[in-house]
Structure 1
Amino acid sequence: MGAGPAAPCREATKRPESGAGGWRAERLVPKGFPKLKNDTFLRAARGEETEHTPVWCMRQAGRYLPEFRETRAAQDFFATCRSPKLCCELTLQPLRRFPLDAAIIFSDILVVPQALGMEVVMVPGKGPTFTEPLKEVEDLLKLRQKVDVTAELGYVFQAITLTRHSLEGRVPLIGFSGAPWTLMSYMIEGGGSTTMAKAKSWLYCHPEASHRLLRLLADVIIDYLVGQVAAGAQALQLFESHAGHLGPEQFQDFALPYIRDIAQAVKSKLKEEALPLVPMIIFAKDAHYALHDLARAGYEVVGLDWTIRPQEARAQTGKDVTLQGNLDPCALYAPKEKIGELVKKMLEGFGTQRYIANLGHGLYPDMNPEHVGAFVEAVHSHSRHINKHS
């Protein structure tokens, strides 16, 4: 299924670099990258015409692939995140199976709290867990107030550079970060939560301290995203995964200003450092009430979850941004023929231009890889057919 195997994660021009936790590795020089052969995703992100609708999947490198489980079997999750070679391998695995139009670097949004000095462990059956979450306002003093992202997160940059070389120009590489509110909620809750009651209580009881934390996170995220582009990322996605826990007023106060600021500051720094101005994607899950504002927040692409109709999303966002999404991930449990029907309906709803096909959230671990392939191939075939007859 799809094209031939992507290149292995090989060595190239090197220079030594050290980082946090005693990490030491050979860093590939982020230049001399192979010429990009498939720029469909980037053209769609910038609003340019495409022959087919590009497609990729959130969590496309993941546990639904047996080769992923085999690669990860003997390794702690965050140890895997700190291994550029393993991150490269996991990033490339789905591209060996499916004709995807983009790769997204394998990493985790919680590497940013780790860079601030917090300990996060992956507990089997529970998920990411903070050993000492933030409980009192005074706990903010325990965080690093100034973060050298190259020292603390250099392993992500090396993984991006290694992967960009190993892709051999097959498709663009996406870098990413969690957004400030989503990261703050994890840091206070200590892990996942159905209510985010502890984190939201900070917004009501400690608004000034909340803004201090959100500002600190935003500053680290800005440097982190710029560093990813310097390392070779060709697009960036900001995940505000917990936006749905906020109402419109709290989103306006505690999420949107930082989302806007990150886009503006990243683009400004990219210009200052003579780095490519890459397209940026904002994905704020369940933030239907904020789509109008998100479309004007400085991002080329607005990602959508599966709980909004394409026509409604387009009406709220206007014609000047590209939309991304939004098939219900659970649709991939359906028979392949049904997946094709759902994809066709989705493409007819969004239109094939100024649009990037994706799921409305990430792939689940128990999904059949063949059904993922059916989704990807249906996007390509139906979008080409619609373009041909339009």
Structure 2
Amino acid sequence: MDGNSPLRPQDFPALKNDTFLRAARGEETEYTPVWCMRQAGRYLPEFRETRAAQDFFATCRSPKMCCELTLQPLRRFPLDAAIIFSDILVVPQALGMEVVMVPGKGPTFPEPLKEVEDLLKLRQKVDVSEELGYVFQAITLTRHSLEGKVPLIGFSGAPWTLMSYMIEGGGSNTMAKAKRWLYRHPEASHRLLQLLRDVIVEYLVGQVAAGAQALQLFESHAGHLGPEQFREFALPYIRAIAKHVKNKLQAEALPPVPMIVFAKDAHYALEELAQAGYEVIGLDWTIQPQAARERTGHRVTLQGNLDPCALYAPKEKIGELVKRMLEGFGTQRYIANLGHGLYPDMSPEHVGAFVEAVHTHSRHLRTPD
């Protein structure tokens, strides 16, 4: 194959470290695997350098750039998984919405959904390979470039989280515009959520076909919903995505992959999430490890949940906090992570201290059953 041909999603290098995948499946591991949400990010000087003159979404559309950014943290830290560099808002873009990254403000929709009639402006049938093929190419290129070092995680935003961005036009402290839709236009809300669900299922299956070895669904705005709205407008779609993705993978003779759901601030729904069809439940930092373990009934692997701001602490303190977290969760059926993504002003040395502490303490704490 010449250098200009895109790599194909086959003949991938053999996986050398499957600790993350084994933990996700609930199998025994020699130590607790660790990765960080937003591990490819602005806290790394090399990330800022690579992205310096490039528009954010132009970067997302460049498989070569996405691959480079995905690999950067792996060169620095002995992480147990890579997560493809992309953004959850590529899905609204695939539906025909414009999204721009505004410096100092974040992702912005110049024309958010305001009225129910605006749903007609969205593509009702999305050719996911056409619209999001650049993500699949990035995954395939990265999977080859990883050379089997660690598994590669693909991801998507969940329907409610994407809907909230599409209506709010960006970030929001209250999600009042999006929640107004839930109260005033429940039928239209469900139509939008169903449209998003269908695209997300195709998108996640396509990521596995391209080489992703695990999938994470981000319900980042779960905390803006109370238990009732979560059960009506979020949970059914979270469940359906797991079910349909697994059925499609089987129907298309693609490998089964562990799926992670991260519903930030959705403590009230832990029991339901544990039965939603996912192998792993991601947790934010506002829940006690022991409580999460008890409430999920040891049916799933748990992931999380160190307060990201703990990485501002001295390195010795980070080690103590990690040890306490591991004691709370136990070293098995557990994937260490932060309770949210890394922040841009964090020290790479402190990220390294976190990763090292997980590996060191989990080996010391591990005892045979």
Which structure 2 residue ranges, 5 or more long, are not aligned?
none
Find the partner of 2:252 among 251, 273, 280: 273
The structural deviation recorded for 1:27 is 2.9
Matched, 1:158 2:134: no
1:4 — aligned with what? none
Matched, 1:233 2:196: no
Q: Distance in 1 between matches of 2:2 and 2:277?
A: 35
Matches within 5 A, 1:221-300: 221-300=200-279
Find the partner of 1:133 among 103, 112, 127: 112
1:323 — aligned with what? 302
1:206 — aligned with what? 185
Q: Distance in 1 between matches of 2:18 and 2:288?
A: 27
Q: Distance in 1 between matches of 2:214 and 2:115?
A: 37
Cα offsets for 1:240-287 (capped at 9, x unmatched): 000000000000000000000000000000000000100000000000
Q: Distance in 2 between matches of 1:51 and 1:320?
A: 20
Q: Distance in 2 between matches of 1:27 and 1:272?
A: 26
Which TM-score applies when normalising by structure 2?
Answer: 0.99
Which structure 1 residue ranges, 5 or more long, are not aligned?
1-11, 15-24
Matched, 1:373 2:352: yes
Q: Distance in 1 between matches of 2:6 and 2:196?
A: 26
2:56 — aligned with what? 77
SS in 2 for 1:174: strand
Find the partner of 2:160 among 177, 181, 204: 181
Q: Distance in 2 between matches of 1:225 and 1:141?
A: 24
Cα offsets for 1:351-375 (capped at 9, x unmatched): 0000000000000000000000000
Q: Distance in 2 between matches of 1:158 and 1:281?
A: 22
Q: Distance in 2 between matches of 1:147 and 1:226?
A: 14
The structural deviation recorded for 1:388 is 5.2
Cα offsets for 1:124-170 (capped at 9, x unmatched): 00000001000000000000000011000000000000000000000
Q: Distance in 2 between matches of 1:53 and 1:354?
A: 8
Q: 1:269 to 1:232 in 2, by over 3 A?
A: same
Counterpart amino acid of residue 131 in structure 2? E
Find the partner of 1:334 among 310, 313, 336: 313
Find the partner of 1:383 among 356, 362, 369: 362
Counterpart amino acid of residue 147 in structure 2? E
2:149 — aligned with what? 170
Contact 1:61 1:94 in 2 (8 A): yes
Counterpart amino acid of residue 105 in structure 2? K
The structural deviation recorded for 1:28 is 1.6
Contact 1:13 1:28 in 2 (8 A): no
Matched, 1:345 2:324: yes
Q: Distance in 2 between matches of 1:189 and 1:13?
A: 46
Find the partner of 1:303 among 282, 285, 303: 282
SS in 2 for 1:233: coil
Matches within 5 A, 1:58-69: 58-69=37-48
Q: Distance in 2 between matches of 1:222 and 1:377?
A: 35
Contact 1:13 1:29 in 2 (8 A): no
C-alpha RMSD of the superposition: 1.0
- The ranges of structure 1 where at least 4 consecutive aligned residues each deviate by more than 2 angstroms after the TM superposition are none
The structural deviation recorded for 1:315 is 1.2
The structural deviation recorded for 1:389 is 8.0
1:106 — aligned with what? 85
Q: Distance in 1 between matches of 2:281 and 2:236?
A: 16
Which TM-score applies when normalising by structure 1?
Answer: 0.94
Count of residues paired in the alignment: 369
Q: Distance in 2 between matches of 1:257 and 1:115?
A: 23
Q: Distance in 2 between matches of 1:339 and 1:389?
A: 26
SS in 1 for 2:366: helix
Matched, 1:121 2:91: no
Identity of aligned residues (%): 86
